[in-house]
Amino acid sequence: MQALFRLIPSMDKLIKSPQGTDLIHQFGHHAFVTQARSFIEEGRQQIVKNQTLPSFLQDESALFALIETSLQAMRQPQIKKVFNLTGTVLHTNLGRGLWSESAITAATDAMRHNVALEFDIEQGQRSHRDNAVSALISQLTGAEAACVVNNNAAAVLLMLATFAQGKEVIVSRGELVEIGGAFRIPDIMKQAGCTLVEVGTTNRTHLKDYRNAITENTALLMKVHTSNYQIQGFTSSVSEEELVELGKAFNLPVISDLGSGSLTDMTLLNLPAEPMAQQKVAAGVDLVSFSGDKFLGGPQAGIIVGKQAQIAALQAHPLKRVLRCDKVILSALEATLRHYLFPEKLTDELPTLHLLTQPLYVLKVKAEQLKQALSKHLTSNFNVQIEESVAQIGSGTLPTETLASIAVTISADKQSDLLALEQRFKAFSCPIIGRFAQQKFWLDLRSATQFEQLITMLEKE
């Protein structure tokens, strides 16, 4: 065994060899030595276990090849781009929606340059980082002011912590939602230091239920949009307008968590209706929160709109600094919001709305192209068809609503063949992600972006 150990090349030899020098030039001394030591240690362990010299230590070129492969792998990001053909447009696990080109440009400009983030150029003095976006949001929603944090869950936390710490918040039992990642309204209330007061039943809540629950310790009346589930049948709920009137009678603010929320009437785009922030502001709700990366079509953010006095209190709370957005997100959000100043162009500019509104005949043309491009990758034991499909918006938005779509489906006699095919698709330079249903593998065109790049990849690989 000692004789075998003596055959292991020394680190000094590896470093001084031409191949080692070249790798050190490419990757640096530290990374090279770390990986070389790792393989040498692996070789030592194999000698102890098998009493033989591993093949990669018998030939130094093989060892250098392993080191280089390992170093190259270290440079490859694990968060890699994929083609989303699941049929879920806003797929949380795949990063939700894409940004508009204007938002991408604004974000990259903010990355490369200093920006007037907290600086008023005209006045030559410090300003608040939310000012530019706040003014734009107010223009679009009719609210007096706005506040921006890093997601809608943070927005809810900030509202509760600011106005209800140590006090009670009244919410309908049917609105105590849990969203992805086990985010629950009751848990957020606990973290914010307030007490949840549930009223009504799961399916029916009346105005009197809120009224009877109000005490001297009540701080807020709260509405939560049940965006990721729906109760049907014998139901009853209280509108924001009714809650606002009740709040005025008892001098209590009303807050509304819209979840996804929207700044445009989705029905005009032949899409299912989604609550609009403008409607809640017009109804007199004091604070309304919604997401930036769902129907809005922008970066991840939590947007709060409402009365000037309440927004000012949110901005002054210590949590606001913890939850605030950076220059990149704010720049991208501003660029996204500016699209809403030109509503007729939204489906052209915002990728999310473009995908959701694609006509079926366009999807059929794409399906034909995809089927043709797939032919070189599929053997005769696969059956490929173009079929009608059912897509969904995703990210907990309108869960009971579906969108007509078109898909390329692949079936096989053996399920193992389909599973192997899925792994092949995932091994492409840009993995293709589809879905399994009805013993077929579905590649849904409703959610497919960068379609030309997808076809090009399939033709080359």
User: Residue ranges per domain, the chain?
Assistant: 1-75, 83-92+354-459, 101-343
Question: In this predicted structure, which of 24-33, 188-197, 312-321 has the lowest mean pLDDT?
Answer: 188-197
Closest CA to 459 of 436, 429, 433: 429
Mean pLDDT across 177-190: 74
DSSP string, 313-336: HHHHSHHHHHH---HHHHHHHHHH
Say how far apart CA 369 and CA 453 lie, in whole Å.
Answer: 12
Q: What is the pLDDT of residues 373-389, one digit of tens each?
A: 999 899 889 999 999 99
What mean pLDDT is predicted for residues 70-80?
Answer: 92
**pTM given for the model:** 0.89
In whole angstroms, give the CA distance from residue 385 to residue 366. 13
Is CATH 3.40.640.10 what the domain over 101-343 is classified as, yes or no? yes
| Domain boundaries 83-92+354-459, CATH class | alpha beta
Residue 428 has pLDDT above 80, yes or no: yes
Mean pLDDT in the chain?
92
DSSP category for residue 176: -
331 compared with 187, residue with greater pLDDT:
331
Q: Each residue of 199-253: pLDDT tens digit?
A: 988 788 899 999 999 999 999 999 988 765 566 666 678 889 999 999 999 999 9
What integer pLDDT is reported at residue 173 of this predicted model? 87
Report the distance separating Cα 110 and Cα 332, nearest Å.
9
**Lowest mean pLDDT, pick from 237-241, 248-252, 326-330, 457-461:** 237-241
Question: Residue 461: its pLDDT value, please?
Answer: 84
Range in 128-137, 234-243, 414-423 with the lowest mean pLDDT: 234-243
Residues 45-73 have a mean pLDDT of 91
- Report the C-alpha gap between 8 and 69 in whole angstroms: 20
CB-CB contact of 153 with 162 (8 Å): no
Report which of 252, 254, 174 is spatially closest to residue 206, judged by C-alpha positions. 174
Residue 229: predicted pLDDT? 54
Which pLDDT does position 59 carry in this prediction? 86
Q: Is the pLDDT of residue 312 over 90?
A: yes
* Residue 131 DSSP code: H
Contacts of 165 (CB under 8 A, 6+ apart): 192, 193, 194
Within 10 angstroms of residue 112's Cβ, the number of other Cβ atoms is 8
Position 397 pLDDT exceeds 70 = no
Task: Find all residues with CB under 8 Å of 290, minimum gap 6, and list them.
Answer: 152, 155, 257, 258, 259, 260, 261, 262, 277, 296, 302, 303
Cβ atoms of residues 99 and 107 within 8 Å: yes
Same fold, 83-92+354-459 and 101-343: no
- Give 179's pLDDT tier (boundaries 50, 70, 90): low
